[in-house]
Homo-oligomer: A and B are copies of this chain.
Amino acid sequence: MQNIQDKRVTDKIKFVQDTLYVINGKWKLPIIIAVYYGNSRFTDLKKCIPNITSRVLSKELKELEANKLIKRSLNSDFPHIIKYTLNDYSFTLDPIIKAMANWGEQHRKKISEE
């Protein structure tokens, strides 16, 4: 391989790994999707995401908050209730979520036809 191609490959790998690092694991994108569709409370999120435990949901929400993808605030009408909403920056993940949802849907069809 020539050097120019080497750099193109390693750059692409590096950028994809950066993304994987932020959205790592199997829960962060599902949580973002659930919040996106209006689930703002912990109990709603837990109901919405199959098999997630409270401990894991709590840990993942903290990591998403630290990465500025999820905003944690108090409900203005019911100040004892915590609500989760998306930060503007989360919406930049939309092309990834769409591409993954499409692929997963096609993949499930393919597997069921085999």
Contact = CB atoms under 8 A, between A and B. Distances in A.
Interface of A: 1, 5-6, 8-22, 24, 26, 29-30, 33-34, 37-39, 44, 48-50, 92-93, 95-108
Contact of A9 (B22, B34, B93, B105): B34
Nearest to A13: B30
B101 A12 contact: yes
Contacts of A39: 1, 9
Contacts of A15: 100-105, 108
Copies of this chain present: 2
B50 A18 contact: no
B101 A92 contact: no
B104 A95 contact: no
